[in-house]
Structure 1
């Protein structure tokens, strides 16, 4: 983690680190989060007029420096645009359509929707005159996708991939002491993956300030070796850049602090500074005695503080979090961490979550990793792209191993530079134990082309980081091609080839299951219903060439030479609704649904992945109308034996096979189904499923996986009967209200739900059309609309002689309101076409608002459905210079339809609400209500 100081609210656990770091930081470096208060609007893929006139200028931003036009111009008026905070995903806000992308969960954004494939973002910032002389840059965590960034009308660059972080130096373009405009145009019309990817600036944005002499971005590389005396020799390589004219020596000081912040060791040396706009690497050795090792149970983190002194003054201070640990793959004995064998119990995951798409707050990264850890997982594969850095921070701090994966295989600049950026950004994270350079590249997996590409990418990765091995996920057979040369064999599904045979042929090649399972399950459903698109939650073989979770784990767990396996997937995700299509909009593969609510397979994994006693009884026991019919009853447990009871009558005791489960056929009768688990002949656990009564009350609870004092909280919603029992079949629609915060999103895990994820005001921008003018005879402006001759109207501004203007002009135009009602808020954002102005709408004079003299809020009693007429009477603007370009756009009509109340149906007993606080110091109050149920209110406390 780099030293940060934020002027805006960060999650509390990050905020504390920032304040502590800043207190010690006397250098010129600042990293300022600028996520707050952006303006946003959808543009258009190919219609330039609908794209706000962008790329219509005579000189384009590619032809002449500083000629950004339309929204890219710093002069563009964005007042009518929506105001929002980042991270932001505009795709999740859209409705569903059968004609939309199957891969992206049928959201009406991106491919096939040109009016929803372009997103514009604008933000104004003040940069002090005191910053003159510093190097100032914009840092983006990731924008999906094909982003173009402008600063004060200057084009900074394009980043094609939606998964790369990138940075632009804006030092030369800044208006010091005044206002500056950041503009981002994101083009999400093309998909990079075959899964939901979101759209927009879905990761953080920072403003960075440094001394001209500074550590470059991701400019440290820390490695360590543990010797026989249990001491670690840490090598700290730092890359310094000189963007100034300084020549001479500088002092580099490297200091290591332990978990408590205590200094462990430091070294310093005097070196020559790099030449102008050059970089240089410097390496230091530091010895750490009896290091606290990083592992999955005790994720101990050290901090390297790199300082640059110039003339005795600290000019830069750069902090890097790292861990000391050893990793090893062995072709006979699998994987070991710190010299101890460790079976990888992993999951694959995409980066979206219920209700909020890909724009995850930092706290949700921790929430999701905690959910996986609680299941027993110790490893995470980033599928199939580089993750947000905050995910890796969470894995570092919580103890989760990571396979970090690049997006696309290849050997050209596009591929290798993306791989380089990923490795250089992420290589100090102790959680990362393997780089993946590809996944299921079917065209090349079994060919010599695949071998060549893999050899290049593998060698290239090693040249950047020699401490970790390289893998590729392979699914089209394990015989030749990539399989023959990759360092760590990644088996994607044991049904795709003979793993044991491949191992016999390549005995010196370690291997692991990079994808396994791919099973179908709908949470809380125990009978497959293809008509409803519901898959039974019992763990069964999903397809002929795929295996159940139990079959997969038995295979990998009983083969010491295999390092472990990664299940497809830990969480459900939008898109790929295999084995169905519309109206299914999420996958069925997850061990948990899109909210993180566990499916029953979670408890199988807890039984055999963890070291605590587990007993889980399924299904629920609400089967009205099925009395006397047999129900499959399963038990997941790591107990020696389990005995099953129905209404206190024993149905038999059974022994548990290792890595297995138990089954009974039970004729349904309402009441109590109970399982009792025994260890060494003694009862140690029980689990009960009871037939519940009618729904009576809503229950809200704060999930235990939330981080303490966090800015974002995840709330579980359920319904109980009069005895307080959870009702597993409830599907009531719950309405929510919040005070002291906002609802970021809602979900319920239903793969067929077409309900809204988010409830936001709908904003429509309507142009003024048929804009006409006629000359006035006096500069005195009327206070009441008068009659004007219909014969004197001409096209506004056409052939205007600016040297011989009339004393005033009256302009007339129309705007159309569709399905207008008094609940809608209509405003006219005037763009100045006169010195003094009077505005009339449908014959009524309109007054400017107090907050903005060029904004007119239109009363509902003066508006009508369909066409409305606007008159603007103004004294003309005068040209100062002949070449001045005069504004001829009168402005835009903004129509806001207020969002309806936030609501969501329960799905099989559960729903989820994600809440963000307005302030750390104030509580948030969430209320939930539904017809026929007792409402419930919960208070989420402020900072404790």
Structure 2
């Protein structure tokens, strides 16, 4: 019997190996390691030879992607702009001689030229959307091939926006996202950008019917035959949920003529559908397989979520038929020192912090962001307004308009299958000069590329778009009759509290007072000024809820640098190192208690602290104790700036400061749910060191970027916010500190930006400062 079992297992294993070999499809291969890089002050002679096969790049720096062209200081006063080059040797297997080979840069800032083996293959305007090319006829299978890429991130009249010296953010250079090489047979699923078919190319998934009882998934697949003969194929569509097959459909005997293409449409009904929403971001995956003579010759996996965004007659948003207000935030993709060069894991961590901060929605400002970030929004349940590049710039030329039209087209083709996308911001933010015909064309592109109902263009003007993006300061300064259209408060909480002309009487304040009363507050400015930001955002969010807007998005989630200013823009709910300010906890507390219980004492409780204590919580009642003595048991605040909030904060009035332990206890329906404790900081006795993983453990082989935090703590484990010393780090292992500035503590915490290598290993970090020490150990998987 044992013998028979062994024979059966051997047969199964053999068949499995044969099946795997038969269906060994070459998919996207990352090309992110061992690039040669140099910033070059070009001369005519150099430009003639630098892309050639024979050019000697041995003295260039060896880098891995994602990569920034220049490591900048924390505060960027003079960002590098110029020409840089990347070169890489790639070997194409000899067996791929008659195959299709595609090369893709996920992003390259800003104007790029690409050569393969000394031949110019493509030039591309724009630094935020993919650069994709068919390089089949330029490469030599079985031999070494040279890829040379020239990037130019100087000011550009074709792509805009404003010149850097007048720009409200920074456009950092380099190959700052991934590069992929894809090999296919000559019958293959197309790439939607290369296919260049309106509402077509690749795999396009839509939802004619959305219902938990039964939803219809419409799948349009574009297949190309580049053989010299007509070919017959079989198309298989498999829908899976958590790895389990839900539905499968096969279409056989599909004839594609020589040199032609075909679009195939399937409709699959899913009974008991699990719909996608911010609370329940259910994702399915679609496996599309093209078979010939029983062999899989191409396949593609597409993640999707079944959802429907609709607006009622009062222009309120419904997601899958349920009325939903979206609490949101804006996001810039900048990191300290490395600019835009985030790993996929870092993109995910940014999205998770936003979700954990109490948000359901992100307006992407003011450009297309990473595919990895979009994937994370799908997974986390973050609704997105997806945007083309644009900020206070319109160039009245055909080249500029065509660039904008192509950007809108390619953005939709890239992101159309993401369930998180509610609308397409095909508008140039705060650009008064946009003519109506220009906006009309962008709106038309949106509806041509994504036909059907419940598809929405967005713009900061209400002339032609489906959704009006109205900043709060614009509403205050220039109130006007609303058109019959959905409205979102696209930006709020910063400019109206800062600018002298934003409508809240700042013009009557001295500059120093205006700054102190603004929302632009660093963690190091102290507890009182951070609380000022928290008061501002509470007032503004409460005000937004009194309008008919279906959503709002605070400006901004993370601090960022500005080309035109010599200081960091500090209105972020988190700083550049992704450390929270007090206003972050206000938004956390607006989450439903069914999602998570939130209770946060917004104080350091030292002799500098206000004696009016704010507690942010979504519980019904809160008790506050000082040194185990009950101060009060209270309901949430009422009155001004609380009327519309889901969960107003609690304010406890203490007459004087007394050091010791504050304890807040939260109750729901009379039952204790959660508590928070703050102990007056004492003299630091050691350093606490930890790594910010935010849902993604450290990973090798992707140039992973993580924040390493070092805090000065006392014997109670309390961080001392007065600690501002410089930290020295000793790292054992392949992790590199990217800080070009000293690793200084701010409000008790110092941050090192770590870049990980390609080795799976254990990293040991030892930290020292002012006679204090601490360590941390972590694994790179």
* Global fold match (TM > 0.5): yes
**1:553 equivalent in alignment to 2:537:** no
Give unpaired runs (5+ residues) of structure 2.
Answer: 1-16, 162-166, 193-201, 495-518
**1:237 equivalent in alignment to 2:220:** yes
CA distance, structure 1, for counterparts of residue 684 and residue 372 of structure 2: 40
Counterpart in the other structure of 1:637: 617
1:724 deviates by 2.5
CA distance, structure 1, for counterparts of residue 120 and residue 88 of structure 2: 15
CA distance, structure 1, for counterparts of residue 74 and residue 271 of structure 2: 58
Structure 1 residues 662, 924: CA separation in 2 closer, same or farther (over 3 Å shift)? same
Mapped contact 1:740–1:917 kept (Cα < 8 A): no
1:239 deviates by 1.6
Helix, strand or coil at the partner of 1:608: coil
Return the match for 1:922 from 734, 756, 761.
761
Mapped contact 1:524–1:599 kept (Cα < 8 A): no
Helix, strand or coil at the partner of 1:372: helix
CA distance, structure 1, for counterparts of residue 229 and residue 293 of structure 2: 11
**1:403 equivalent in alignment to 2:385:** yes
CA RMSD after TM alignment: 2.9
**1:491 equivalent in alignment to 2:480:** no
1:729-768 counterparts in 2 under 5 A? 729-743=722-736, 745-746=738-739, 756=741
CA distance, structure 2, for counterparts of residue 124 and residue 152 of structure 1: 10
Aligned residues: 699
Counterpart in the other structure of 1:54: 46
Return the match for 1:619 from 596, 603, 613.
603
Mapped contact 1:526–1:538 kept (Cα < 8 A): no
CA distance, structure 1, for counterparts of residue 64 and residue 471 of structure 2: 39
Counterpart in the other structure of 2:9: none
Mapped contact 2:527–2:604 kept (Cα < 8 A): no
**1:262 equivalent in alignment to 2:245:** yes
Counterpart in the other structure of 1:303: 285
1:36 deviates by 0.2
1:632 deviates by 5.2
Counterpart in the other structure of 1:26: 23
Counterpart in the other structure of 2:303: 321
Counterpart in the other structure of 1:378: 360
CA distance, structure 2, for counterparts of residue 499 and residue 399 of structure 1: 34
Q: Which moved more, 1:613-622 or 1:924-933?
A: 613-622
Return the match for 1:696 from 679, 685, 691.
685
Counterpart in the other structure of 2:98: 133
Counterpart in the other structure of 1:520: 520
Structure 1 residues 290, 731: CA separation in 2 closer, same or farther (over 3 Å shift)? same
Mapped contact 2:459–2:467 kept (Cα < 8 A): no
CA distance, structure 2, for counterparts of residue 364 and residue 185 of structure 1: 26
> CA offsets, 1:15-56, max 9 Å, x none?
xxxxx9x96982654311000001111112xx517xxx333x
1:285-684 counterparts in 2 under 5 A? 285-332=267-314, 334-408=316-390, 412-444=401-433, 449-450=435-436, 452-466=437-451, 468-474=454-460, 482-497=461-476, 502-503=481-482, 506=483, 508-518=484-494, 519-523=519-523, 525-526=525-526, 536-539=530-533, 548-559=536-547, 561-575=548-562, 581-582=565-566, 584=567, 586-611=568-593, 612-623=596-607, 633-642=613-622, 644=624, 646=626, 654-656=634-636, 657=638, 658=642, 659=645, 660-663=648-651, 664=653, 666-680=655-669, 684=673
1:677 deviates by 4.3
Counterpart in the other structure of 2:235: 252
Q: Could you state the TM-score of these two structures normalised by the residue count of structure 1?
A: 0.69
CA distance, structure 1, for counterparts of residue 493 and residue 689 of structure 2: 33
Structure 1 residues 25, 669: CA separation in 2 closer, same or farther (over 3 Å shift)? farther
Q: Which moved more, 1:338-347 or 1:33-42?
A: 338-347
Mapped contact 2:599–2:675 kept (Cα < 8 A): yes
Q: Where is the helix percentage greater, Structure 1 or Structure 2?
A: 2
Helix, strand or coil at the partner of 1:443: coil
Mapped contact 2:74–2:336 kept (Cα < 8 A): no
Mapped contact 1:354–1:594 kept (Cα < 8 A): yes
1:367 deviates by 0.8
CA distance, structure 2, for counterparts of residue 745 and residue 339 of structure 1: 47
Counterpart in the other structure of 1:106: 77
1:523 deviates by 2.0
Mapped contact 1:239–1:282 kept (Cα < 8 A): yes
CA distance, structure 2, for counterparts of residue 228 and residue 349 of structure 1: 32
Helix, strand or coil at the partner of 2:772: coil
Structure 1 residues 71, 227: CA separation in 2 closer, same or farther (over 3 Å shift)? closer
1:939 deviates by 1.7
Give unpaired runs (5+ residues) of structure 1.
Answer: 1-19, 56-68, 98-104, 111-116, 475-481, 529-534, 542-547, 747-754, 757-902
CA distance, structure 2, for counterparts of residue 259 and residue 186 of structure 1: 41
**1:938 equivalent in alignment to 2:748:** no
CA distance, structure 2, for counterparts of residue 337 and residue 710 of structure 1: 35
CA distance, structure 2, for counterparts of residue 630 and residue 591 of structure 1: 20
CA distance, structure 2, for counterparts of residue 708 and residue 619 of structure 1: 31
1:95 deviates by 4.7
CA distance, structure 2, for counterparts of residue 208 and residue 23 of structure 1: 19
CA distance, structure 1, for counterparts of residue 663 and residue 387 of structure 2: 44
